[in-house]
Structure 1
Amino acid sequence: MSHFKAGASAKSKPPAIGIDLGTSFSAAAVFLDGKPEAIRNKEGQRTTPSYIFYNERNSNIWVGSAADNQGISCITNFLFDVKRIIGRKYNDDYVQLIKNSEDHHFIITSDSDGNAVFEVKHNGMHMKKWPEDVSSEVMKYLKNSASEYLNAEDMDAVISVPAHFNQAQRRATEKAAELAGFNVLKLITEPVAGALYYLRENPHVCGKVLVYDFGGGTFDVTVIDVNKNQYEIMNREGDIFLGGRDMDKLVVDYFKGKLIEEYGEQILTPKLRRRLLNKCTVLKERLSIQEEYSIVLECIDGNEHDFTISMTRTKYEQIISALIDKSMDIVKKCLTKTGITPEDITNVVLIGSVTRTPKIRQRVSEYFGANKIKTDINPDEAVALGAAYQAVLLTQSEFRDIENITISEVSPFSLGVDVTKGLVRKIIEKGSRLPARNDIEFLTLHNGQSAMGFKIYEGERKNAIHNNYVGEFICRNLPKRKAGEVKVKVTFILDYNRILRVEANVFSLGETTKLSSIVQEYPLCQHVVTSNIGDAEKNKADDDLFEFFVNIYCSIKTLIHHVLYYLEDLHSDIDKRYIKQKCSILDSYMEKINHNTPFNEILDMFLAFEKINGPMKDFHFDFEKPYQKLKRAIEKVQ
């Protein structure tokens, strides 16, 4: 039955909808008759499993429960967890983790640009499907359900994304929505969408609200300072690979061990693993409401042998305890970074299907106080309903009570540049309110240097190899002066949509001259490396030593180039050759070493070089500066 009557006037334009594209389940919602409501799919359900199945023989594409039912017939064509892959490169560590997982039987490969793509056999042909294409099938299904409900074809939508999605993932999600036929009004972060729904349903709430968002594939925690219609994001932390799927895997691994004990390794065929995952997912959900649950896995060997999967809630809580601990560590980190305590939080909003787990509610209640925990909203639908609120805010001005809501976002990562030896100088700090603007100044390192290159990184570590590479730009046509005499000011401007613009101004000999101005947009990308950005605190000592090394390197290199700059002013050719040789020896040495080189060794080389101060004593070079830096570094490591 249609709930919206189409017509020719502007007032009859169908309302924009909200979409929650989840890892495990997706949902759509709309604001009608003064309130948001979830839109049921064609099977009458308010959420749709984020499953897609491509028929290998014909053009049929199945979505949701139908895909789940069909998937067992050709497991390489049954795609799920697509949200964990969208917007990523093939060589991304997370993509490789999924590719090599025993629980994911689909094929992941690379396109010509290095992006992760799926390989399926569909309609009798082998073909590649980009994650955007696959996710668009889920959104098409949601759009068709909404179109039928609202009696409309063209549709605007607000799409939710995890708070820690980078720009590449956000753009890929937006493209998926466009492929599905939506006009995308805005992307909204999932915790903000959930909070928006809760706060509009509870308009009396003020103070510091914490959103604990534990979904199927991601975990986010966000602290929002609420003052009537002003919502200020104070801080957010999260893990884009912590979710209900990871709990499923732990339970599956537990029962895999039981099956192997009884029947041997050969029993675990790909199809049985798929069936086992389905049963374990049901088991996990039932243990949220029952103390013990059993379910039968039929015909495990193709014959009459059945296997009973049985578990108590206590055992389940033991299995997933490390993941709950991890989520609480992220909560504590978020509060610490904000400088507030659990007592400062007035309300804790639980969203995401995993928050139905009794142990999670217990742990959160113990930390904040049971009276602060709010479970009076449907955690599966809250994000879609909040996105629907945002959609009506953007499109229908007659709703004056929600029209003036202001949401202040913050940067989820620090942004900086590597100029020398991989040392990252932060320009925009993590947690900066958007839009953000900041600058930092750099000096030339070589005599006659005509260009300066800047590699841009996002992350919290000082060593570039532990951060996420974003892009690079070069400031050219610098005045050819002595090392250190030309200064380049680099300015980062990060807008509300997390698009980064970069500007560079050049200063020389006391004059401010805009010799080069570079303005560029960079889509913030993510490539996960061995030490992720969450390790910044743990590795502070190592990062500080790395910074010591690079500062010493720059100081010594600058001194070498200052000496060489004035070399021709010496009258003695013998002194010139001697000093040039000493400079060459030290310069070559500095290029060969790295931050693992003992500082005592560097000091010995520098003291040998310092002997040139005799012939050049009249030039008053600053040998003391690098010497003191080396002494401090040596004291630091002792």
Structure 2
Amino acid sequence: MVAIGIDFGTTYSCVAIWREGLVEVISNDQGNRTTPSYVSFTKNQRLIGEAAKNQAPFNHWNTVFGTKRLIGRRYDDIGVQMDLHNWPYVVLNNNGKPKILVEYKGQKKQFAPEEISSMIICRMKEFAEAYLGEKIKDAVVTVPAYFNDAQRQATRAAGVIAGLNVLKILNEPTAAALAYGLDQNLKEATNVLIYDLGGGTLDVSVLSINEKSMYKVKGTAGNMRLGGEDFDNRLVAYLAEDFRKRYHTDIIAKPKALRRLKTAAERAKRALTSASEAYVEIESLCNDVDYQGKIIRNQFEELCSDLFRDTLKPVQKALDTAKVNKHDIDHVILVGGSTRIPKLRSMLIEFFDGKTLTASVNPDEAIACGAAIQAAVLSGDEHERLQDLLLFDVVPLTLGVEAARGMMFQVINRNTPIPCRVTKELTTLEDYQTAMTIEIFEGERTQTKDNNLLGSFDLNGIPPAPRGIAKIDVTFDIDFNGVLSVFAQDRSTGNMESLIIRNIDRLKQQEIEKMVVDAEIFKEEDKEDRRRLEARNQLESYIYSVKQSVIDKIGNLTPVEATMMVTECQEALTWLEGNMDCLREEFQRKISELLRRWSGVMKKIYGQRWRGSKRKRTESEASSGISTASIEEIFDSNLW
């Protein structure tokens, strides 16, 4: 059975097939090798691709584009809210999910982004079926490397709605690297940097390719809100202001005129890749006024100068996460139509100290070609060029669980190769706790409230015991397709619960690249916050340890001493609950005070041995601050 590769893009999509040792890019019904990612609804029919884009200036309310920026997101997502003013069609809030409102055959219809996306993917499938003369069932579909789990699962759902068995959701830069590697027939170890600037997103990935055709992603970075459409919007704003000054008419609030201007701006941008100036001519743009404008390349570069500079930030970030410097990169590979902009190319050449950029594979087609290669491998094609081809992708965001009063307990770090399986140990926070809620988060911040909640489940039936005694093994398993499964098992009973993260209806989500940027901005703040929480947790552990010691060794104390200590422990815990947001120094002063105050009683309990021995904390204790360490360890800690 033949499997195809589909590059589902923000502005254009492409489909390719691997046959007889070569990749073939399949043309659409208009003879073009890429297809606009547009769907238009009229009184009589639904149009997709070229015909739909042609409707945009005249049927703007019912012509949908850019759904890749909506897919897998909540309506109140900051990215969705920022994009709303760029879309002439209506996006509704349907129980927290974005729904697109159009009029189709005289009726109001609401479509989820996955449904619109599936229409485009289905059309790509139909082009392949017409070309091959047979039905297609299997496909590899690509997504930006920085798509989170919700966006990936929503893209998979769109493929399923289109009637496809999605073999794999493949990162776009990785697909481009596959296409380049086979095109160049690389036979020696190579470091490549994929610079993928499309219509809506920027992706940068660093990969190593060894002599055995093993592809390993070493680092990724990106900006999900930066692409060719943003350059178009700068041109539109410039031309709209020119029209306002010359004809005293503001067209920003006139969707039909604005859509026509956007189409003309995109043409002008493309012309400026090879010409020093471009003309914009639109008949009856607004109020029967014919508009003629002109833009020179230097003006365009100045209009977009800040956006162009922003494209270099993910390049440095990807190099840093891959732990390589720019001199270690052997090939810089350009992917995406926006990489044809001369200024961007010159900036990249300067960044890499004069290194020649590579565009041997058509930038518009490279991702679809790589997807087709991966599809052939997964469908069992045994061609000699595919032999021993191995691909290792990475986790785009750190994954973990909440532990110890809102701290993010990291289980799988960002940029860990997948598939992977990691087990970490947790323990209980409360005395005689019999159930535990496992909450799974993704993100780079110290506290879980600043990260994205992926899902949660309960582990019940934990044998009652003092806090810190129960041992719970939490396992994160990410399969070949990037699907996350989480298991929690009580070590003493073998009782297990699990969760597969497939739910695309999550709480409010910030864009992944914004989360990583925020993590960098708040790095020092998070570091201090972690130290504050650790101090709080250490104080709490000390109080509980003293309380348990009093209970265990009550025979060594008089009834008055025992009652006093239990009462004071409870008072200390009450103080702690009422002072959750104290500074680190206040927690430190409190534990120093309690150490001095209770030292006489603790010496009486433990005799002269009480400051003698030390033991290492378990991994879960070190990570969460939950400790059953002896009192002397806390007393001698460097922190105090």
> TM-score scaled to structure 2, two decimals?
0.88
Q: Which residue of the other structure, out of 410, 414, 425, is the alignment partner of 1:441?
A: 425
Q: Which amino acid in 2 is paired with 1:96?
A: Q
Q: Deviations over 1:310-344 (max 9, x none)?
A: 22211211222222222211111111222212221
In the alignment, the residues of structure 1 paired with residue 365 and residue 179 of structure 2 have an alpha-carbon distance, to the nearest angstrom, of 10
* Equivalent in the alignment of 2:447: 463
Q: Which amino acid in 2 is paired with 1:376?
A: S
Q: Aligned runs of 1:551-570 on 2, under 5 Å?
A: 551-565=534-548, 569=554
In the alignment, the residues of structure 2 paired with residue 626 and residue 275 of structure 1 have an alpha-carbon distance, to the nearest angstrom, of 70
Q: Is the 8 A contact 1:40 1:47 kept in 2?
A: yes
Please report how far the alpha carbon of residue 110 of structure 1 lies from its aligned counterpart in structure 2 after TM superposition: 3.6
Please report how far the alpha carbon of residue 356 of structure 1 lies from its aligned counterpart in structure 2 after TM superposition: 0.4
SS in 1 for 2:53: helix
* Equivalent in the alignment of 1:340: 324
Specify whether residues 466 and 262 from structure 1 end up closer, same or farther in structure 2 by C-alpha distance, changes over 3 A only: farther
In the alignment, the residues of structure 1 paired with residue 299 and residue 635 of structure 2 have an alpha-carbon distance, to the nearest angstrom, of 60
Give the aligned length: 607
Please report how far the alpha carbon of residue 91 of structure 1 lies from its aligned counterpart in structure 2 after TM superposition: 2.5
In the alignment, the residues of structure 1 paired with residue 493 and residue 412 of structure 2 have an alpha-carbon distance, to the nearest angstrom, of 22
Please report how far the alpha carbon of residue 264 of structure 1 lies from its aligned counterpart in structure 2 after TM superposition: 5.3
* Equivalent in the alignment of 1:636: none
* Equivalent in the alignment of 1:3: none
Please report how far the alpha carbon of residue 405 of structure 1 lies from its aligned counterpart in structure 2 after TM superposition: 0.8
Please report how far the alpha carbon of residue 50 of structure 1 lies from its aligned counterpart in structure 2 after TM superposition: 0.7
Matched, 1:541 2:524: yes
Q: Which residue of the other structure, out of 576, 579, 594, is the alignment partner of 1:593?
A: 579
In the alignment, the residues of structure 2 paired with residue 630 and residue 234 of structure 1 have an alpha-carbon distance, to the nearest angstrom, of 36
Specify whether residues 285 and 485 from structure 1 end up closer, same or farther in structure 2 by C-alpha distance, changes over 3 A only: same
* Equivalent in the alignment of 2:64: 79
Q: Deviations over 1:508-539 (max 9, x none)?
A: xxxxx244222322238675339612332332
* Equivalent in the alignment of 1:9: none
Q: Is the 8 A contact 2:243 2:250 kept in 1?
A: no
Q: Deviations over 1:335-380 (max 9, x none)?
A: 1222212221111111101110111111221222545411222111
RMSD of aligned C-alpha atoms? Answer: 2.7
Q: Which residue of the other structure, out of 160, 177, 200, is the alignment partner of 2:159?
A: 177
Please report how far the alpha carbon of residue 136 of structure 1 lies from its aligned counterpart in structure 2 after TM superposition: 1.6
SS in 1 for 2:414: coil
Q: Deviations over 1:79-110 (max 9, x none)?
A: 111011111222222222223x2x21222224
Q: Which residue of the other structure, out of 14, 23, 38, is the alignment partner of 1:36?
A: 23
Q: Is the 8 A contact 2:457 2:498 kept in 1?
A: no
Q: Which residue of the other structure, out of 189, 211, 220, is the alignment partner of 1:236?
A: 220
In the alignment, the residues of structure 2 paired with residue 391 and residue 92 of structure 1 have an alpha-carbon distance, to the nearest angstrom, of 33
Specify whether residues 447 and 156 from structure 1 end up closer, same or farther in structure 2 by C-alpha distance, changes over 3 A only: closer
Specify whether residues 264 and 467 from structure 1 end up closer, same or farther in structure 2 by C-alpha distance, changes over 3 A only: farther
Segment of structure 1 superposing worse, 329-338 or 346-355: 329-338
Please report how far the alpha carbon of residue 208 of structure 1 lies from its aligned counterpart in structure 2 after TM superposition: 0.8
Q: Deviations over 1:118-169 (max 9, x none)?
A: 1222222222211111012212222222222222234432222212222322
Q: Which residue of the other structure, out of 175, 186, 192, is the alignment partner of 1:193?
A: 175
Matched, 1:225 2:211: no
Q: Which residue of the other structure, out of 269, 275, 279, is the alignment partner of 1:290?
A: 275
SS in 1 for 2:195: strand
* Equivalent in the alignment of 1:50: 37
Q: Which residue of the other structure, out of 82, 87, 107, is the alignment partner of 1:125?
A: 107
Please report how far the alpha carbon of residue 505 of structure 1 lies from its aligned counterpart in structure 2 after TM superposition: 3.7
Q: Is the 8 A contact 1:23 1:217 kept in 2?
A: yes
Q: Aligned runs of 1:197-596 on 2, under 5 Å?
A: 197-204=179-186, 206=188, 207-228=190-211, 229-263=213-247, 266-268=250-252, 269-303=254-288, 305-395=289-379, 397-507=381-491, 513-523=492-502, 527-529=508-510, 532-565=515-548, 569=554, 575=561, 578-595=564-581
Specify whether residues 218 and 89 from structure 1 end up closer, same or farther in structure 2 by C-alpha distance, changes over 3 A only: same
Q: Which amino acid in 2 is paired with 1:135?
A: S
In the alignment, the residues of structure 2 paired with residue 255 and residue 594 of structure 1 have an alpha-carbon distance, to the nearest angstrom, of 55
In the alignment, the residues of structure 2 paired with residue 378 and residue 485 of structure 1 have an alpha-carbon distance, to the nearest angstrom, of 60
Please report how far the alpha carbon of residue 250 of structure 1 lies from its aligned counterpart in structure 2 after TM superposition: 2.2
Q: Which amino acid in 2 is paired with 1:24?
A: T
Q: Deviations over 1:158-187 (max 9, x none)?
A: 222212222322222222223223333332
Report which structure shows greater RCO (CA 8 Å, sep ≥6): 2
Q: Which amino acid in 2 is paired with 1:146?
A: A
Q: Deviations over 1:421-465 (max 9, x none)?
A: 221121111111222222322332322122232321111221212
Q: Which amino acid in 2 is paired with 1:44?
A: G
Identity, % of aligned pairs? 31
Segment of structure 1 superposing worse, 422-431 or 202-211: 202-211
Please report how far the alpha carbon of residue 276 of structure 1 lies from its aligned counterpart in structure 2 after TM superposition: 1.9
Q: List alignment gaps of at least 5 residues for structure 2.
A: 611-629
* Equivalent in the alignment of 2:615: none
In the alignment, the residues of structure 2 paired with residue 600 and residue 398 of structure 1 have an alpha-carbon distance, to the nearest angstrom, of 65
In the alignment, the residues of structure 2 paired with residue 307 and residue 213 of structure 1 have an alpha-carbon distance, to the nearest angstrom, of 34
Q: Is the 8 A contact 1:199 1:205 kept in 2?
A: no
In the alignment, the residues of structure 2 paired with residue 31 and residue 515 of structure 1 have an alpha-carbon distance, to the nearest angstrom, of 48
Specify whether residues 189 and 342 from structure 1 end up closer, same or farther in structure 2 by C-alpha distance, changes over 3 A only: same
In the alignment, the residues of structure 2 paired with residue 232 and residue 393 of structure 1 have an alpha-carbon distance, to the nearest angstrom, of 16
SS in 2 for 1:479: coil
Q: Which amino acid in 1 is paired with 2:498?
A: V
Q: Is the 8 A contact 1:586 1:606 kept in 2?
A: no
Q: Is the 8 A contact 1:86 1:132 kept in 2?
A: yes
Segment of structure 1 superposing worse, 290-299 or 564-573: 564-573
Please report how far the alpha carbon of residue 604 of structure 1 lies from its aligned counterpart in structure 2 after TM superposition: 4.7
In the alignment, the residues of structure 1 paired with residue 304 and residue 250 of structure 2 have an alpha-carbon distance, to the nearest angstrom, of 27
Q: Is the 8 A contact 1:449 1:478 kept in 2?
A: yes
Matched, 1:149 2:127: no
In the alignment, the residues of structure 2 paired with residue 522 and residue 261 of structure 1 have an alpha-carbon distance, to the nearest angstrom, of 53
Matched, 1:92 2:77: yes
Segment of structure 1 superposing worse, 386-395 or 17-26: 386-395
Q: Deviations over 1:206-250 (max 9, x none)?
A: 311111111111111111211232212222222222211222222
Please report how far the alpha carbon of residue 608 of structure 1 lies from its aligned counterpart in structure 2 after TM superposition: 5.3
In the alignment, the residues of structure 1 paired with residue 387 and residue 319 of structure 2 have an alpha-carbon distance, to the nearest angstrom, of 30
* Equivalent in the alignment of 2:149: 167
